[in-house]
Structure 1
Amino acid sequence: MALGYRKWVNWTVLILFSVVLAFCVSRFGVALSVVNGTSMQPTLHNGDRLLINKFKFTLQVPQRGEVVTFQDPHNQNRYLVKRVVGIPGDQIEIRDGKLFRNGKEIHEPYIDTPIEDGNYGPITVVPGTVFVMGDNRHRYASRDSRYDSVGLVPIKLVDGKVEFILWRPSLAAFL
């Protein structure tokens, strides 16, 4: 009887450990995500499967140029993916289709068009927030920090850094 009890306890401990480990990995480690929309084209495409590093921002804050996921400030059940273009203290401005940070034009090799939404700013990124933009700079293509529905994103809402595109559905047609 004692042997059966010990086996039951061992299985229970193993199951509890597995559940706790799975929770910790999904909460603080890595996650999978799917891109929904075109706001990050040409970098990310609708349907791309992404590997998200959730651990990175438990130790440091987002940096310029990183592609991050974050909780939508106006819909807690939705997550957005954008590129960080401004960190606390940066002054962001858009003039004549170009992005300026702290008065200097930013070279953005990841975009394929000038910014078509018109001039914006200047605005200073306040402490505890980041300024994000989608890589798709066509008119009205990205709901990002330029719009009141997103605004400056509190760092506490940043969920993780996009590390890899695991799979792109458009490539499946060639299989």
Structure 2
Amino acid sequence: MSRIAVMGSAFNPPSLGHKDVVEQALKHCDQVWLVPAFRHAWGKSMAPYPQRCEMVKQFVEDIADPRVSLCAIEHEIASDKPVYSFDLLAALQTRIQPDDQLLLVIGPDNAAAFDKFYRASDIRQRWQLLVVKERISVRSTKIRTALQQHKSITGMTTPSVADFLATHPVYGGTTL
């Protein structure tokens, strides 16, 4: 039996805050699957999906732990509507072994508002929640703002993601 942490996020771009969440999840699970949102449930504007998937791929390579992987599935289950956590977990459930266990990774802000999630009670009945702490307050917004202002993003994301952003002006500016 494997315990698989499912970490859905915009990853717009991946940050060291995301990396800390991965490290926390690895203490409780055998694997961590990073799932970039195809269409955000709350309508957030995001960089194109293929670019965010590439950044997550680079992020995973920097983490260099075989238990962490990119799981680019949302484009397969998305239609014209957002993919909700319930839909994601249901789709992933069909792709794992019957005795494997999925855990939805959420932070304290989502834990406090979890009852507002689409089919929250169904999620609680079928899967487990893994609530992590926000120990590093480096958010994607901070990286995007720094790039737009041509400021350094050193110490905000992993080296390969920073290199990708330096050569792909996804957010309107580049500075390492």
Shorter-chain TM-score above 0.5:
no
Q: Identify the structure with the greater strand proportion.
A: 1
With the length of structure 1 as denominator, give the TM-score of the two structures. Answer: 0.23
Q: Which has the higher contact order (CA 8 A, sep 6+)?
A: 2
With the length of structure 2 as denominator, give the TM-score of the two structures. Answer: 0.23
